[in-house]
Structure 1
């Protein structure tokens, strides 16, 4: 694999470019800049104004400063080894994206430094990127959801959207949400992560464009992708492997759900033991666990919807003779297994909700009895049951 790192010296043309970025930013504040006009064919004027305003409002949360730019571009030509280009300044990135044609496969991989930190690309470069490839507003919805804490009100956001264009071109976008553990000493904590995916598959040219937004540079999918490019395996038969990165992302994070649900079940059992034994119990802890369970099935159902749509796309491409039956069955099996896992997790969440519901009902009865025995001492004055 060839790795090219573009840490350019501050040449005259780059200085001019950075000065231009400053002028452009000032124009944006005056309202002179608008979201790329190339999207006007798929969105109304009011839609574009909304996205333009939201991009400007989310600037500090979603995008980094110039000095923090760090973008990987992976190229997989038809008859050559894959190459990785690392861009640490917006000038080199913008020039490369605007002047080089897309090879058989191009992956633009952008990471944040943390789950709620800005992506390591400046706002102007992201705008240029979306404009250059005429990326639809469905991906913008996902982009604008990043940079902030995960909200329960957005638990259903992110299911895969597919746009079929003339000439056998398919644009797909989705957000994959998953829990991830981290250890600090003997303590294990859980954090919600989000990976945003845009994939353009040109069935006629057998070409691919991917834009991946990772929650951190050490994310599993990013590391596996770099390893695959490094040993050359990702470039093999890339012209027919439209599913490859989808499956890489799903396989990188789906198992996290099992570990997370096991963690929740252990917590419920531990906190419910005193209740079942008729001794002290922390009601507040059980209520927090109940709150944690509430959005889980919506998030799982959203990801399950993405897997099902990928399955439908697999069937469609096979029917259009994009690959043979053996390949179709292989993809169907992989997606079917992920679907089977997610359906099992949904049932697991329902089971835990019922268990927790029973525990809380038991506590309620205990509180009522105690209130009747001690009318002078309000039962709601303390959360601890003695």
Structure 2
């Protein structure tokens, strides 16, 4: 775990403000991490994401493995150089994408065999192969391959998937350690375009050395408290981790069940390591999770919703295409520092959406991630002042009580 550390800076109840140190910089927590699936936050330039206040972003190993290829990303300098994002980065293993392709994949103890829906080619996704892919891509934090199942599955199915995820975690750990010790396999020769700088894989004697990375395990077990506890116990017996993720939530379960799962997991997780809640990204869910001891969050919903005209405000979600906004001269949110709020009014933003001008979806997506990043920054500040509980309760009451005019 060289280059990684986590310190708790302030607490209030189960909630905490912390600092996650990585080789590419520090992440002040709690923090929302925008999702850049293809090494790009959809529709936004990296400098816009940085200016929105993001400290850390995500990419997806499955998608980058298929295009342009993990070895190509490595040859082009690794994920940071390839994407032009120079802060901390995380790659999800792509387990969710693989398991969502029910018609195209077959799961066994060995791993997952699937057909690429782009060209029909057959691929094998094993814990060992996923570690090789993620180590080629080169993010700071990489995720294990876990077995995902549909939300609402019974106890037996949830237990089976949780236990297999633990077995796959051990295989991930062994391969991760081997690559740390022995280095990555050489990349087959790929020539740079005439006149361009050489590829990293061509002239660097130490290029095969694996970069400093941290492997995060993923807690599974559905909404069953005993399975979540067993998953955490198995994870902690398997290794000393730089951080732990909680997955398998926000997949259709009741919010009360999701919040109960936070309450189950947080007290059992190491206090001195960051807790990453995967795939949760609505404002009220983030504050509920922070109050229950979670630190890091990601979700594609904020940018996806923005591209389709729905934005977050302190008074709830607003659907901007509604005719009521046709003559609305107000900003989306008076307190928001994003370009959509500081330069334009709702009437103009609505006009961009209904006329299908590309600027509209970009501005609204940027607003939504800025809103969540700013919200997490405010939560951190309130924690440091000892005001989180009162502030959070008031904020949630307003968000949930009012609707768009």
TM-score, structure 2 as length reference: 0.24
Give the TM-score of the pair, scaled to structure 1. Answer: 0.25
Greater percentage in helix:
1
- The structure with more radius of gyration: 1
